Chains A and B, each alone.
Chain A
Amino acid sequence: MMLFLIELWESVRDFMNTGGIVLYWLALVLFIMWVLMIERYLYLTTGFPKLVKTVLGNWDAREDTTSWYAHRIREAWISQANEKLNARMQLIKTMVAMCPLIGLLGTVTGMVHVFEIMANTGTGNPRLMASGISMATIPTMAGMVAALSGVFFSSRLEAKVKVASHRLVDSMPHH
């Protein structure tokens, strides 16, 4: 088991070395993105239902639910709940969008590396250029994979958030 983990770690490190420094940035962004998404999932399953319960309790306790004041107060509560529900969603979406851009950055720096080697030693040694080319292609792929992993779950998350907010609106009737 331990050996397997060490081997895994070795392969990850090899991958990072061939891909260059950009991969570390990508890993950082991916990590933050997933931490944010997991936090959102947890909030949706544990934190938000509690909030809904207190808001609904407050609403049901109100005597007046039909006047202009009541309408405004309901809207304000819904807006506050939505605010909490949608917190950091924008950031998650941005990070998903940033992943392929970081991959592209890695591609271009890799190409710069290739051409720098060409400028120094000429085209005679393709083996030297290969390191630059792997530095160019691996981040692109990694960026794509990272973005894809984020796209699916973030869109699921968004749908869930929307459903939760609609459900809240529907469960605050004017009685």
Chain B
Amino acid sequence: MKTVLKSVVLAAGLVLTAQPVLAAAPQAKTLEQLLQDVQKDRLSDNKINKQREQEFLSARADKQALLSKAKSELAAEQARGKQLEASFADNEKQLAALEEKLTLAVGNMGEMFGVVRQVAGDAQSRFQTSIISAQYPGRDKEMKELAQSKELPELPQLEDLWFALQKEMTASGEVVKFKAPVITVDGEKKEMDVTRVGAFNLMSSDQYLVYNSESGTVDELSRQPESYMTDTVISFGKNTSGYSPLYVDPSRGTILTLMTQKVTLLERYNQGGTVGYIITGVLALGLLIVLERLIVLGGMSAAISRQRKSDTPSDNNPLGRILKVYENNRNVDVETLELKLDEAILKETPRIERGVSVIKVLAAVAPLLGLLGTVTGMIDTFQSITLFGTGDPKIMAGGISTALVTTVLGLVAALPLIFLHSIVYSRSQSLIHLVEEQAAGIIAEHAEKESK
């Protein structure tokens, strides 16, 4: 009863408080009716509860079944795991045994593959620098692949290796002609007939070529060696049978490229600069004077020897002119004649001696000019030292070689001038002796002959 009352009061309270909100809630019309409703509801609630209990019970049974099923599955899997583990261990053992078998089977072969890689590596570096690669390009790449591959080489690759080595060997012993693109000095690419002499030299029809191992191209030399060497190339190219001499570069191109740095004689001459040209001028002037003197003195002595054979004095030589003085003064006394003769001789000597001392002066000036060039060259050197320091010997060496070239030029000019001066001098001296000391004697002989 109490609970009923309570619920009624509660319901009333609820009704009172919830009234404004739940305006549509069904309202018990009377207490009686409410009681009836409650009883009815209690019945239905019990029914629902019973039903739910039933449901839970049935669900529990289900779960129990699932659990047991899962447990059995777990057990089965664990069993399988054990089995697999066992088989894994078995397999591992088998693998180890097989591997052992493999190493046994490979045995010496492993060593062989190492050797193959090493040989391929060596061959690659050799092919890269070999001039035979100009004829058969791309060989070093194949070798590189073989040397760097992680896999074991196969039989065809091994065959390629020894074939390539054999080819290199054979090619290094033959002289062949083939067509190849050549990079000229201007940088153009030209298709040319290239002759290869073993592993040593590449040549076109008239010049030496070099193989550039970095770019793998055939290059023209920026400067060919001396003509006596390139001449052999031309004659070698024209030769069709038998043997022909040829200059071969045993260093496979290194010497040829070094030769391009060699200074030619003309370049070295130009290093002398202005002083060098002046010295050349001095030498040329001296040689001209020598030539003129030799011609004049030669003509003079020829005329004199002709004069000595003939009796009539002629005007075209010194001796003839002196004899003429005697002819004109036949009847004067001896002292006057001597005076007249001395006068005539005095007139002749400058004509003979002219220019001889100039040659000597030029011969003396040439080495002095060389010295001048040396000093100016040294001044240049020291100027470059003040500007750039002594760090680069090449800058200094350039100036010094300029200085020395002028010295060389001075000496080269002086030596022939000194030599030629001595020849011209002795010639003029003998003529002067002839005129000064022998002319009077010749006249005396004439006079004696006439008086007899």
**Which residues of A approach B to under 8 Å, CB–CB?**
68-70, 72-80, 82-83, 87-88, 90-91, 93-95, 97-98, 101-102, 104-105, 108-109, 111-112, 115-116, 118-120, 122-123
Question: In which size bucket is the chain B interface?
Answer: 35 or more
Question: Is B30 interfacial (CB-CB < 8 Å)?
Answer: no
Do the beta carbons of A73 and B404 come within 8 Å of each other? no
Residue of chain A at shortest CB distance from B261: A120
Contacts of A102 in B (CB 8 A): 415
Do the beta carbons of B441 and A77 come within 8 Å of each other? yes
**Which residues of B approach A to under 8 Å, CB–CB?**
261, 263, 268, 334, 338, 367, 393-394, 397-398, 400-401, 404-405, 407-408, 411-412, 414-415, 418-419, 421-423, 425-426, 429-430, 433-434, 437-438, 440-445, 447-448
Do the beta carbons of A83 and B430 come within 8 Å of each other? yes
CB distance from A82 to the nearest CB of B (A): 8
Contacts of A93 in B (CB 8 A): 422
What's the A-B contact tally at a CB cutoff of 8 Å? 100
Do the beta carbons of A98 and B415 come within 8 Å of each other? yes
Residue pairs across A and B with Cβ atoms less than 8 A apart, 7 shown, are A76-B438, A94-B419, A101-B415, A105-B411, A115-B400, A115-B401, A115-B404
Question: In the bound complex, what is the Cα–Cα distance between A78 and B446 (angstroms)?
Answer: 18
Question: In the bound complex, what is the Cα–Cα distance between A79 and B439 (angstroms)?
Answer: 11
Question: In the bound complex, what is the Cα–Cα distance between A96 and B268 (angstroms)?
Answer: 29
Do the beta carbons of B418 and A90 come within 8 Å of each other? no
Do the beta carbons of A76 and B393 come within 8 Å of each other? no
Contacts of A108 in B (CB 8 A): 404, 407-408, 411
Contacts of A91 in B (CB 8 A): 422-423, 426
Q: Is the interface of A mostly helix, strand, loop or mixed?
A: helix
Contacts of B334 in A (CB 8 A): 68
Do the beta carbons of B418 and A122 come within 8 Å of each other? no
CB distance from B320 to the nearest CB of A (A): 17
CB distance from B299 to the nearest CB of A (A): 20
CB distance from A99 to the nearest CB of B (A): 10
Question: In the bound complex, what is the Cα–Cα distance between A103 and B182 (angstroms)?
Answer: 47
Question: In the bound complex, what is the Cα–Cα distance between A172 and B423 (angstroms)?
Answer: 31
**Additional A-B contact list (5), CB under 8 Å, known A76-B437, A105-B408:** A83-B433, A90-B426, A91-B423, A94-B419, A119-B393
Do the beta carbons of A122 and B394 come within 8 Å of each other? yes
